[in-house]
Structure 1
């Protein structure tokens, strides 16, 4: 009778499997979990199936992606704090320049404040660089006149009119 797999019976089997899928050597896994390298190799070859490997790989990738996202978010928070400090310092400089009547320094401070506020707005997503415009041709007076003119001309050519109206319908452009 075959002996039970010592790796499968290990109380930290999930962690052991995770290390194997992550690429830790059999010798290192054996050392970490107090097992023999041959037992780890047999376990990896015979008991760690493809579905388990895919699930563990997905979990590892998800954790790595989350770690990257967390690091980026921490960086964003630090940049946000730093920009706020810059804005505060520039404002202080602006107030001193105004009090001293130093217009060139005040103007320069305002420019720097504007730049810092623009950076802060971009960072927080409150400033959008893109503009979206939706135009409904069915409500455009110029298009309505053009459409009516085309339909009048097409009245003299019934086959062409049917083709034209079919295309208009396909494009979801009404007529009237």
Structure 2
């Protein structure tokens, strides 16, 4: 009689919690020791479970993390550019209003003429910033690599699974994928 193999303690955790710890360990954000301590199990037990995770699932965790990091970085850069533009527009409008009011009241007043000169310098600086802002808005591109997209990796795995059932089509498909540099798998 063969003894029954019990499921691993980590495998019995709720999916969200199990995936959280697996992802954090694989990404190096927490140690197996810390995960074991949090989950009330030994670090060797955690290591056994992590080593049992299939490679495609590990790849999915890594791809999701890379994708999320790229999107987060792109969003931060876009927010900086947008914030920069709003401030520049606001500041430029303020300078133009001040210039208009000073021009109206500056006739013959030395102090006003000094203020006007300072505002003229400030206006030139803001115009240069506005020009830079316009150039940045035109050049803002976000590039994402499909090979790092978790959804694409999952789709690619489904396609390869289906093609395994049809060897003739698989060879042709893999050749086309190699030409596009999408996959580097033996035929």
TM-score (norm 2): 0.56
Distance in 2 of aligned mates of 1:4 and 1:128? 56
Partner in structure 2 of residue 10 of structure 1: 13
- Deviation sequence 1:46-104 (CA, Å, 0-9, x none): x2122111111111111112222222222223222321232133113211321123667
Contact 1:121–1:127 under 8 Å retained in 2: no
Pairing 1:49–2:54 present: yes
Pairing 1:97–2:97 present: no
**Structure 2 unaligned spans of 5+:** 140-187
Q: Which has the higher contact order (CA 8 A, sep 6+)?
A: 2
Contact 2:81–2:137 under 8 Å retained in 1: no
Say what the alpha-carbon RMSD is for the aligned residues.
2.8
Contact 1:94–1:105 under 8 Å retained in 2: no
Structure 1 residues 36 and 66, CA, compared in 2 at 3 Å: closer, same or farther? same
Structure 1 residues 128 and 21, CA, compared in 2 at 3 Å: closer, same or farther? closer
**Structure 1 unaligned spans of 5+:** 130-176
Q: Which moved more, 1:58-67 or 1:97-106?
A: 97-106
Count residues in correspondence.
128
Partner in structure 2 of residue 72 of structure 1: 77
TM-score (norm 1): 0.59
Distance in 1 of aligned mates of 2:68 and 2:9? 28
- Deviation sequence 1:99-154 (CA, Å, 0-9, x none): 1236676566456435423422432448869xxxxxxxxxxxxxxxxxxxxxxxxx
